[in-house]
Amino acid sequence: MLLTKIVRDSILDGPGCRYTIFVKGCNLRCEWCHNPETQLLEQEVFTYEQFCIQCGLCLTAIGTNLPQKQMPIRIKDAADPRYFKCVDICPTGALSFAGKEYTIDWLLNDLLKYQLIYKQTNGGLTISGGEPLLSGDFSYELCRRVKASGIHTAIDTSGTLSWETVARFLPVVDLWLYDIKHTDDPAVQSALNIANFKKLINQNTEIWVRIPIIPGYNDNKSIWKEMARLIVAAGEKVTRIDLLPFHPYAAPKYTALRRHYKFGDRREETETIAKLAKSVFVSYLPKERVSMGKTMVHG
């Protein structure tokens, strides 16, 4: 399975300390997505021009004889497999693969090395992405085996695949980090998202609802109120609501993937909106269950 990242000491993706993996491949294409490298199922290449030392090795790899100055700008389509050998030869990491192949055995073994910490902190595995349900067999099998080892499992999903796909995970997932991005937007399959949510709350499982707060997209009191009512209806099943304010840190990833990103720094705007959103949600739900996403810098 192609993963874009493994974070072994996350505290932002579920309770306790989490072993969070990011799978590649998503069924949605949200414009604000902060992990654009996880959207395509296929391998892609990041091009970080600031690390290029113009050594020209990538050109020799594909047998091109262009003036060195033009590198690595010549690589137009970062996902083109013809250029993959350039990545292998690039000494600086200016060209790097967005995903790396991992097996379930390797991941399980790696996670178990640190199981003491996951158990001690009531943490565990979180599969994020991308959309873990899209790589159903992989995600299912990994959750099953981790859970069988006595470790908590969580899945970070938009829940926008068939109910059967979602329901298959019920026996192996302890916690659902369930995204609700909108209440009425076909682009994010709101109808399916909400329908599956309503089914999920009738199952014997725990849910954290995660709501991105995106300026110009869902910054609308009536949307928030509708979301809040959905959550209230879920009762005790939803133990926490994470409001995740828009942040601009994804921009360099878009550039490195040669994609356009339409969001700039909308910090001040976001802060105001996020506060407003929080005030709406806490008018429906207990204050201690509504939390605001944070940014941290780790060594």
Interface with other proteins by CB under 8 A: which residues? Answer: 5-13, 16-17, 34-35, 48, 53, 55, 57, 91-93, 113-114, 116-117, 120-122, 128, 156, 210, 242, 244, 247-253, 256, 265, 267, 293-299
Nearest CA to 159 out of 213, 214, 203 is that of 203
Nearest CA to 127 out of 296, 294, 3 is that of 3
Shortest gap between Cβ of 294 and other proteins (angstroms)?
6
Shortest gap between Cβ of 50 and other proteins (angstroms)?
8
Name the residue nearer to other proteins (CB basis): 38 or 196: 38
Name the residue nearer to other proteins (CB basis): 84 or 195: 84
Shortest gap between Cβ of 250 and other proteins (angstroms)?
7
Non-local (6+) Cβ contacts of 75 within 8 A are 45, 47, 58, 83, 86, 95
My answer on whether omega of the bond before 130 falls inside 30° of 0, hence cis, is yes
Measured distance CA(77)–CA(55) in Å, rounded: 20
Shortest gap between Cβ of 202 and other proteins (angstroms)?
26
User: 199 by DSSP, 3-state: which?
Assistant: helix
Nearest CA to 105 out of 147, 150, 145 is that of 145
Per-residue buried b or exposed e for 140-151, using 16+ beta carbons within 10 Å of the residue's own CB: bebbbbbbebeb
Name the residue nearer to other proteins (CB basis): 195 or 250: 250
Name the residue nearer to other proteins (CB basis): 143 or 177: 177
The count of other CB atoms within 10 Å of the CB of residue 296 is 6
Shortest gap between Cβ of 168 and other proteins (angstroms)?
22
Name the residue nearer to other proteins (CB basis): 35 or 189: 35
Shortest gap between Cβ of 265 and other proteins (angstroms)?
7
Measured distance CA(244)–CA(294) in Å, rounded: 8
Shortest gap between Cβ of 120 and other proteins (angstroms)?
4
My answer on whether omega of the bond before 248 falls inside 30° of 0, hence cis, is no
Shortest gap between Cβ of 31 and other proteins (angstroms)?
15
Name the residue nearer to other proteins (CB basis): 204 or 288: 288
Name the residue nearer to other proteins (CB basis): 164 or 288: 288
Backbone dihedral region for residue 50 (phi beyond 0: left; psi -120 to 50: alpha; all else: beta): alpha
Name the residue nearer to other proteins (CB basis): 7 or 195: 7
Non-local (6+) Cβ contacts of 297 within 8 A are none
